[in-house]
Amino acid sequence: MIKHPDERYDRQARTPGWDQSLIQSGTVVIVGVGALGCEVAKNLVLMGVGKLILIDNDVVELSNLSRQMLFTEEDIGRSKSEAAAEKLRILNRFVELIHYNSDVRQLPETIFEEADVICSCLDTWGVRRWLNSLTVSLRKPMVDGSIEGFYGNIQVVIPGKTACLECHGENLISKEERLAECTLRRRTPHELVKDLQDQGINISMEVANELFKLNIKTVYDLKYSRLESIAYGLQPGLRELILELRDRLKPKSPAIQSVSATIAGLMTTQVIKLLHRGKLGQPITGLFVYDALHSRLTRVKLLRMNECVVCGDMEEQIPSINIHQGWTVQTLKEIIALRYSFPDPEILFGTKRLSDDQIISDTGIKDEDIIYVSTSRRHMPLPLKIRLTAE
């Protein structure tokens, strides 16, 4: 019989500097309820965080059960966020739990405005980029973690103070994933068929045409596209085919429960520090890299980049781009995709969204004008100043 919630947290409250009232009044958003998200959520609920918001649009699979301890066989096929919230309520009935079975990019901004800390437990670079830009825009601290096999890393983003995920993405993200983010050039279904043949995989031109309708135009798209975002309205069997192609091109990354638990523990400690607002010391800066195989924890110094297109001093200097009046909008998109690794840029000028075949000289864009680039990799459009150059 629980006499009072304070007794529940007695042992952690004995820690010098600990203020349980700050934990119990805190709100934390966890995006991604997989191996890391389950562990971080469990830790925070046991510690008595006031409100926990879980976001994930995936469902529980059998292969999750070896490292996602909030799920059992009875949960297979259920929404991860719902099943996790159900288990967490059993662990601590004093924590307010809210869950959303949704792509995080489709949720209203107000959900994140109430958060004291946002946890990124995602496994795709594209969505992590979007969440990073959201947290910077809202001036909310974010604790980002990722794992693969015996390795994991953690980065704390404090907008305006530390490097964000985008500051050093060119160096920290694998070349192949970065290539997947900027494959915008015009392609044909025939090219996709040929690329897959080079990988030892044969598909028909009919299937290639269907993949193109889903904006899957390259091998990289097949490897890294977030299937949940394109799954609606798929023809019977097409989803299964995409999954089969993905598995052949890019087998699922290795994942180990002990590494998940370690990285999640380190992430949770950073969340607790942020909720304590300096009373338990400052959160880490830079990148923490954990190598379980060789028992190493390495700290990599990361400086905030003033010219970063997400967290840099954009108000002082909007980045510029040189363009020719004879270009099409599609050519401009390709240049932007290559420079900023945006796989799906849309050009906004004034109140209009420019179409691919428009010639720049016909759009009304003049030297020194500002255009805005909308993409699924940013919460807010990116402003760019136009510099018109001679052919």
Degrees (nearest 5) of the Cα angle 64, 343, 58? 20
Reduced to 3 states (helix: H, G, I; strand: E, B; else coil), residue 113 is helix
The whole-number pLDDT of residue 99 equals: 97
Q: What is the mean pLDDT of residues 364-378?
A: 90
Whether 1 shows a pLDDT value over 50: the answer reads no
Close Cβ partners of 133 (under 8 Å, ≥ 6 residues apart): 166, 310, 377, 378, 379, 380
Q: What is the pTM of this model?
A: 0.84
pLDDT single digits (tens) 315-343? 567 888 999 989 999 899 888 988 888 87
Are 85 and 148 in a shared domain?
yes
Q: What is the mean pLDDT of residues 97-113?
A: 95
pLDDT single digits (tens) 38-66? 999 999 999 999 999 999 999 999 999 99
Whether 174 shows a pLDDT value over 70: the answer reads no
Are 104 and 230 in a shared domain?
no
The whole-number pLDDT of residue 199 equals: 84
Are 259 and 384 in a shared domain?
no
Are 125 and 39 in a shared domain?
yes
Are 280 and 135 in a shared domain?
yes
Supply 199's token pair.
């990988």
The whole-number pLDDT of residue 22 equals: 97
Are 269 and 336 in a shared domain?
no
Higher pLDDT, 28 or 227: 28
Close Cβ partners of 247 (under 8 Å, ≥ 6 residues apart): none
Degrees (nearest 5) of the Cα angle 127, 132, 135? 125
Are 207 and 165 in a shared domain?
no
Are 227 and 273 in a shared domain?
no
User: Residue 336 is part of a domain; what is its CATH number?
Assistant: 3.10.290.20
Highest mean pLDDT among 264-273, 324-333, 359-368, 379-388: 264-273
Task: Give the CA dihedral 309, 315, 316, 321, nearest 10 degrees.
Answer: 50
User: Residue 90 is part of a domain; what is its CATH number?
Assistant: 3.40.50.720
Reduced to 3 states (helix: H, G, I; strand: E, B; else coil), residue 151 is strand
pLDDT single digits (tens) 268-319? 999 999 999 999 999 999 999 999 999 999 999 999 988 888 998 765 678 8
Are 214 and 286 in a shared domain?
no
Whether 229 shows a pLDDT value over 70: the answer reads no
Are 268 and 366 in a shared domain?
no
Is position 311 within any domain?
no
pLDDT single digits (tens) 184-219? 556 788 888 988 888 888 999 988 888 887 778 777
Is position 245 within any domain?
yes
| Residue-range definition of the domain harbouring residue 95 | 5-176+254-300
CA–CA dist 371, 15 (Å, integer): 53
The whole-number pLDDT of residue 302 equals: 93
Are 243 and 275 in a shared domain?
no
Is position 215 within any domain?
yes
The whole-number pLDDT of residue 86 equals: 97
What total number of domains does the chain contain? Answer: 3
Is position 350 within any domain?
yes
Higher pLDDT, 329 or 253: 329
Q: Of 32, 60, 223, which is closest to residue 122 (Cα–Cα)?
A: 32
Is position 130 within any domain?
yes
Tell me the one-letter amino acid at 305. Answer: M
Quickly tell me which residue has 């500051």 as its tokens: 167
Are 268 and 376 in a shared domain?
no
CA–CA dist 199, 208 (Å, integer): 15
Where among 211, 233, 249 does a domain terminate? 249
